[in-house]
Amino acid sequence: EVATSEIAMKSFDAFGRPVQEFQVKTTFGGYMSVCSLILVTTLFFMELWYFLQKETKDKMVIDQGQDQKYLNMTLDITLPEAPC
């Protein structure tokens, strides 16, 4: 007698022959179909996770072509709580 799991796996076989008269569903084909589905689903979610991750890159470029040696900066600071 054929085991129940073997019959169930035959129903998952996506690699059967295309013509209905010659279509043969096998247990191995069912296992291949299930493994392929698990692999495709896993790869899909891994790629989706990788795509949704934010990637930050820190980059500093020093401009060597400046003529000035010093950088002029002006700061306007207001201290409201400072005593006179």
Residue range 22-64, pLDDT digits in tens: 667 788 888 888 999 999 999 999 999 999 998 888 887 877 7
Q: Is 14 helix (H, G, I), strand (E, B) or coil?
A: coil
Predicted TM-score of the model (pTM): 0.46
* Res. 19 pLDDT band, cuts 50 70 90: low
The H-assigned helical ranges of 1-84 are 4-11, 27-52
> Is the pLDDT at 21 greater than 70, yes or no?
no
State how far the Cα of 32 lies from the Cα of 39, in Å rounded to an integer: 10
CB 14 within 8 Å of CB 33? yes
Calculate the alpha carbon distances from 44 to 12, 40, 41, 61 in Å.
21, 6, 5, 37
Count the neighbouring beta carbons within 10 Å of the beta carbon of residue 34. Answer: 15
